[in-house]
Amino acid sequence: MSLTRNVAIIAHVDHGKTTLVDEILKQASVFRENEETVDCVLDSNDQERERGITILSKIISVNYGGCKMNIIDTPGHADFGGQVERVLKKADCVLLLVDASEGPMPQTRFVLNKAIQLNLQPIVVINKVDKNDARCDEVLDEVHDLFFELGATEEQVFCPVFYGSGRDGWFAESPDGSQENIIPLLDCIVNDIKPPAQVEGPVQLQITTIDYSSYVGRIGIGRVYRGTLNKNKPVMTITADGKEERTQIKQLFVFDGLGRREVEEVECGDICAIVGLSNCDIGVTICDAEEPEALPPLDLDKPTLSMLFRVNDSPLFGQEGELVTSRQVADRLTKEIEKDVALEVEDVNGEAFRVSGRGILHLSILIESMRREGYELSVSQPQVITREIDGVKHEPIENLSVEVPEESAGKVIEIVGARRGEMKTMETRSGRTMLNFSIPTRGIIGLRSRLLTATQGEAIIGHSFEAYEPMKGEFPHRRNGVLISMTQGQSTAFAIDALQQRGTFFVDPNVEVYEGMVVGENSREGDMMVNVLKAKQLTNVRSSGTDKAIKVTPASVKSLEEYLEYVGADELVECTPKTIRLRKKLLREVERKRGSKI
């Protein structure tokens, strides 16, 4: 009997996956008693800590009850659903975390559907039962309904259920059970979950995740499905298109605690990391060199959004970043696709690159990483990737859920409906309304900020990819025009104060602007040229009361994601290490007018 258990933790974003991993690490005694630890240990990336989300799937290993548990922490955001889908191939069991108040959300449905298709053994964990609005029994009924909808087997539906609080470090078989520790949950994994099947024969392993090191290159991570993988025996790699290559493994690692430990061989059912393969890509089968046999290829979800990355050619280029040429941008994007297989990069004309990903968050994390590394670049408006199916143009459709106060439901329905969203269900409980829509991915772009503004920040929004459907009708990207600077220099408080009734400004006084730079949003339709450099003309008259007190409203500061959602078709987002600006593609007004006539 195998002493290994491969457990993936799956849930909607912010339902407590990484916090649960923290507690497993603590209560399985991975840390020394005097060792200092931080919250969300596995969210080690700077952006993961700042955003409070998991971006990269990670694996740790703990020993409990004489059993080795490989725990896989997965991202909860829809933009990283492709990672979840692949890493589930390594698991035997899934811990399905569900918030005791929110219940199943769109990403819950997506990841559970993938787990059921792979016939994995589930354990339902209803988390955050200490919330004032927790509704444990109703949420469990909703989870069971979801199991039935997705075609789960009877064994999967009637799986073990635990209640508790990952933050407080306890889980029990009932909401009012012992609140001491998570030992009942760990015992269930060891005693009730079937171990990996021990399949004898020539070795077979499939790479489902790629790690990258600047020292050794690509590192393939996968699970041994058959036989024993030995470092000293030659192996055969087989790609998805059937290309075979005989090779030798240089290093072989298994997961141990928070790190990896080098070994000579890995038994069937365990997860390992392999260094030294020239053919190291997602879906590649590693098998016995004398008896090669490929595993079924993995289906990777295609990107749904694309953007053009190009060099920064604004008048302020090169003042903040050191890496500004197209060659340097191309090298950085090439390095990124080595690590992120959900990303696609296409050279357009040597000066621009079409980068395709799973959503705005997916692409914005790449842009933010490049900014922090000293790159300067300009990016275009995100474009939805369409498909031609049976001669008809199709576009990606998302499943959108919005939870708002009851009195704000009408506003949400109006906003989503204007973006071709179709309401599927509406449910009200405890003064809050849960709305479920089917909406084109085009409609998701810029929707979050609109809904948060309309509901005074009360909306809880989630979405996940559903399917491709025939193109819906057109709808406006944004209703108002923008305010464009007509000259270069430093903005003044006097000029901005005089123009405040014209719209909302994105810049404060004493900020460097240039001709063609977008400095604000017009209060009406159509773009407007403005002079934000105008200074007050001084005279010899010095009389108290003649000067009007200048009171400038603080600038509306947007994040990178908000700019990417706001940018128009004829505009670019200029990204530098210190500044994010919005600008027109054609900076001079005469060029824009000439272009509009063509």
Residue numbers belonging to the annotated binding site for GTP: 14-19, 127-130
419: Cβ contacts below 8 Å, ≥ 6 apart: 439, 440, 442, 443, 447, 475
Cα of 384 vs its chain's centroid, Å? 17
Q: Which residues pair with 388 in a beta bridge?
A: 393
Q: Are 269 and 184 in contact (CB under 8 A)?
A: no
431's tokens: 């003064």
d(CA 577, CA 571): 20
> In this structure, are strands 392-405 and 387-389 parallel, antiparallel, or unpaired?
antiparallel
Task: Please give the DSSP secondary-structure letter assigned to residue 173.
Answer: S
Count other Cβ atoms within 10 Å, centred on residue 181. 16
Of the candidates 500, 532, 540, 535, the one whose C-alpha atom is nearest the C-alpha of residue 513 is 532
| Cα atoms found within 13 Å of the Cα of residue 388, Cβ hemisphere only | 1
d(CA 57, CA 73): 6
542: Cβ contacts below 8 Å, ≥ 6 apart: none
| Cα distances (angstroms) measured from residue 478 to each of 220, 411, 450, 462, 567 | 44, 17, 10, 22, 9
What would the DSSP string read from start to end of 396-447? EEEEEEEEEEGGGHHHHHHHHHHTT-EEEEEEEETTEEEEEEEEEHHHHTTH
d(CA 344, CA 53): 23
Q: Are 75 and 57 in contact (CB under 8 A)?
A: yes
What would the DSSP string read from start to end of 39-85? SSTT--SHHHHHHTS--S-EEEEEEETTEEEEEEE---SGGGHHHHH
Annotated binding site: 14-19, 127-130
Count other Cβ atoms within 10 Å, centred on residue 77. 23
d(CA 455, CA 561): 20
d(CA 491, CA 507): 8
Task: Find the Cα–Cα–Cα–Cα dihedral 199, 203, 207, 209, rounded to 10°.
Answer: 60
Burial of 498 (0-12, 13-18, 19+ CB in 10 A): middle
Q: Are 74 and 7 in contact (CB under 8 A)?
A: no
